[in-house]
Each structure stands twice: as structure tokens, then as C-alpha cells.
Amino acid sequence: MKLLLLLSAGVLVCAQSLPLEPTHESGANITGAFEGWYKNPDGSFSLLLGYFNRNTKQELDVPIGVNNRIEPGGPDRGQPTHFLAGRQWGMFVVKVPSDFGSNKLTWTLTVNGKTSTIPANLLPDYEISPLREVAVGNTPPVLRFDSQGPSVQGPQGLTVERTTTLANPLTLTAWVTDDAKFTSSSNSRPKNLGAPVTLRWSKYRGPGSVTFAKDRPPVENGSASTTARFSESGEYVLHVLVNDYSGEGGGGFQCCWTNGQVKVTVKP
């Protein structure tokens, strides 16, 4: 694992450079990705992680356990068990105490017979600023799951609970706003920026498959809605990624996007 340092507008930016391997439609491995760490107001720290599924078409389910574990304190530290194809930036945060010091966490994934382990620590070079990109003052989109409910910005995310049945699709509505600022390694702004906020829904955990009417519903009048159907009853977690103009992974700047999770109980 390497650390890539970029200098843009006087700001030092950290990004992980993952090992280079050929991509495959299926049969390849999944590597965890440590995006960096940031300090919380209460003195604790948040370790931000994503992953790289090297398969271009194969999505995989890897249950928590020997093949999908974070240690110490695990094996379950909130990581996904369903892995989308390709590079997925900053999907979840693991909070560690203020006295974490020189300790580290490791995330081990064994997929398609191949095992990868990545560390996450508080080395100074990995410090990031996911809540404010200092060069232009860009901040993550604001997310709510109720029009007047609690709001959140950034990868720490917001979690709500819902209940549905196999026969009834679950309606998912997200209310979003953004400062419409733009983070880029280039000094020029794109000519066609499009909507300032985009959403993507995906399965994060669960025993069966999830089908979204639209996994990328358009934002209209400050909200975006879709529905989800489930193939089996049980406990699920759905993930929504809310990006601003900077795009997925913040264009390499580790800012600015917001995560959300919906825990769903699906009854027969």
C-alpha cells in the first residue's frame, strides 16, 4: 500500500494508491481501502474506509466472520457484507478513542480464494478533512431521511430504521441540500455541472437481493425518492451515497460526500 500526496492550491491531500492488478469480470479479489483519519469534536478519531472490488461485473456477499473481519474489537466494526463492483470510496467509519495513539486496526477480506489485509492507523500523513475542503471551503451535502428530521454531513453518516414486507416495496426518500461549491484538482470548472447533488442507493448488508426502482433517483425540489424490493425476509442495511459536484471520492480529495444507512426489517 502506498500513500499518494498531491499538492493543490497549497493544500496537502492524501489518497491511497491501491496495488495495481488486472481487472476481471469475476473471480478476482476485494481489497479494503483506508482513506484516512480525522479528529472528532469529542477528541476521538474516525477512521474512514472503503474498498476496491477488482471484479467489473461480480458483486459479492461476504458475511462477517473469518472472511470479513476487522480487528481488534471485531470481527464486526460496521463494514459492508455486500460488495459492489469497482472502487467504492469512504463507505463507512470506525471510531476509535482519543488514546488510540500508535495502535492500528486491520481489515481482512478473503474473496474468491484470495486474502488481503489492510491497516488503518493515525499516522500523520493519513490525516484528511472530509467535512471541509479548505482550498475553496467546500462542504459535504446535507442529508435528511425526514423533511424536518435530523440532518448530517460527511462520511460519519446518518442511520434510520424502517420496516416492510416481502409483498410491499419500501419507499425511500432522502432530502438533500448542498453549498454548490466544487473541489477539483483542476483550476477550471466543468461547463456542464448538472445537478449539485446526486444519490446512489445500494445494498450494504442482508440475506437476499435488493432491487431498486431507481438506484440513482433524480433530485427534484430538494428530495429524491425510489423504492426497494427484497427477495427474502430478514434484516438488511441499505446505503445511500450523496455526492456533490466533486463526484465519487471527492475527486481524490477525501471531501465532500455524505453517507446514509437505512436498517430495514423485512417481514414475510
- pLDDT per position as a tens digit, 32-48: 999 999 999 999 999 99
Average pLDDT of every residue of the chain: 88
Alpha carbons 124 and 213: distance in angstroms, whole number: 43
**Is residue 59 within 8 Å of 211, Cβ to Cβ?**
no
Global confidence as pTM = 0.87
Alpha carbons 65 and 67: distance in angstroms, whole number: 5
- pLDDT per position as a tens digit, 62-87: 999 999 999 999 999 999 999 999 99
Measure CA 10 to chain center: 27
Helix residue spans in 87-241 (DSSP H): none
